[in-house]
Amino acid sequence: MSDSVDDLRAWAKRCADVTRDRMPEFKAWDLIAERGQEFEVARRPNGKVYRGGPMMTPKMCFWNSARVIAGLTAFDPAGCRYAEGFAQGALGMWFHHAWIVNSFGLVLERTWKKPGDRYVGVTFTEFPRDLGYCQLEDWPLNMAWGPGYADRPKDADRLFNVTQE
């Protein structure tokens, strides 16, 4: 699926509209809908991925990215920002994810062994919540989300009151 950033922002707006009355504490979709942008993965001149340092703990993207930005690793974070939103991983599925954006606006992926195909999200200049936690507020059901995610679990459909054809 090759959605444009506008398609992803529109999808986030629909999610925000559906959940606003039921779960007003979830502000993430509003932020993605209002100012989400797409980021490219940083690459070396030979085309290989540039990570800006060694791989970090798997499945700990919020903590990994926050540690780098806070200067708690052997990496100079000057000019880098923490980013959070969606990353399109294996089989085209979108996952809530956090990453680092360098001073050139490129993704430094330190958590996923194989970087995502696409990254759409927002950057933060400071952490509104505790370091190492989701900054966009907690996501319901802690599962993969995204436009075109046809096989989303039935719990997600119940949450959004969606009837699948």
To the nearest 10°, the Cα dihedral for 16, 20, 25, 30?
Answer: 30
Give the pLDDT of residue 112: 96
Q: How many structural domains compose the chain? A: 1
User: Which one-letter DSSP state was computed for residue 117?
Assistant: S
Has residue 150 been placed in a domain? yes
- Domain carrying residue 118: 5-160
pLDDT over threshold 70, residue 153? no
- Residue with the bigger pLDDT between 80 and 5: it is 80
Let me know if 69 is exposed, middle or buried by CB neighbors in 10 A (0-12, 13-18, 19+).
buried
Angstrom CA distances, 152 to 2, 95, 146, 162, stand at 18, 11, 9, 11
Residue 39 within a domain: yes
